[in-house]
Amino acid sequence: MLDLTARRELITVLLIDDDLVSREVVATVLTMNGYTVHAVADGTSALELLSSGQCDANVILMDAQMPGLSGTKLIAELRAHSRALLFAISGSNAPSEVVAAADGFLLKPFGAGSLKKLLEDHRPEAVPQAGIMPVSDLPVVKPETLAQFREIMPEARVREIYAAVIIDLFKRTAALEVAIANRDVRLIRSIGHAIKGGCGMAGALQAARLGALLEEIPLQAKGNHLDNSTALLRDLRSALGSLERMLEAEFQA
């Protein structure tokens, strides 16, 4: 078994996450803390990377809920291709069989400290989800998260992360509008899950909370529930506007 008391510079991490924002944030935090990181968007790409010999991973961080090859099937394939420690990460409680098959689990959003603890001590700390506070009362961006980013990476890189969050949210809101028009509840929930995970990692609290509310819409939703998704889309656009203003105010050229 890998000795994680060794220097971080010796540890290579394979990060598998289909959400662009989460992947960028986690990869950046790891890199700035001295880890070598290979990041891919899906399980198939991860297996190709391992098979090619381009990545000799010591640790694998795998999103627990991804399209295509995922879950326990992906874990089994990864075990067959690598002896790395394997940790599941997710914006929601992962399926029990995934948690049982992995070496550990970490709940998004998590900070650099929790991630370091997971990799080095094997004792991940789950960060509680946002409570029942009204979305409008939440900060646009969690000050502690912004401060942590500024401690471990250049100002320009921090700005790039939040610019990526904004670009991603533009795409998600456009997709959400179509999903609502088509009354596609599964897709609405899926988009909400992605927003919750990516924005949560970046500390974008208002958008993350709205994503969580979208993900909670019942699968059999109709009538008022779907009307509520329209209201959440409107609030999400407002949160996006607030993020844009924050980016302009915090990172003036």
Percent of the chain residues topping a pLDDT of 90: 31
Residue 2 counted as domain residue = no
Q: Which residues of the chain are under the pLDDT cut of 50?
A: 1-9, 123-131
pLDDT of residue 106: 84
pLDDT reported for residue 222: 59
**DSSP state for residue 126 in the 8-state scheme:** P
Check residue 176 and report its DSSP letter.
Answer: H
211: in domain: yes
Instruction: Give the pLDDT of residue 103.
Output: 84
What's 242's domain CATH number? 1.20.120.160
Scan for tokens 């890998």, then name that residue: 2
Give the β-pairing of 59-63 and 85-90: parallel
Q: Which two tokens stand for residue 85?
A: 């420690």
* Residue 94, CA distances (Å) to 84, 99, 104, 216 in order: 20, 7, 11, 15
- Among the candidates 89, 121, 153, a domain finishes at 121
- Residue 163 pLDDT: 92
Residue 184 belongs to domain spanning: 135-250
d(CA 104, CA 87): 5
Per the CB < 8 A criterion, the answer to whether 119 and 59 are in contact is yes
126 belongs to a structural domain: no
Same-domain status, 84 and 148: no
Count structural domains, the chain.
Answer: 2
Same domain membership, residue 243 and residue 158: yes
| 3-state DSSP assignment of residue 48 | helix
Evaluate whether 229 touches 214 at the Cβ level (below 8 Å): yes
Using an 8 Å Cβ cutoff, are 197 and 22 in contact? yes
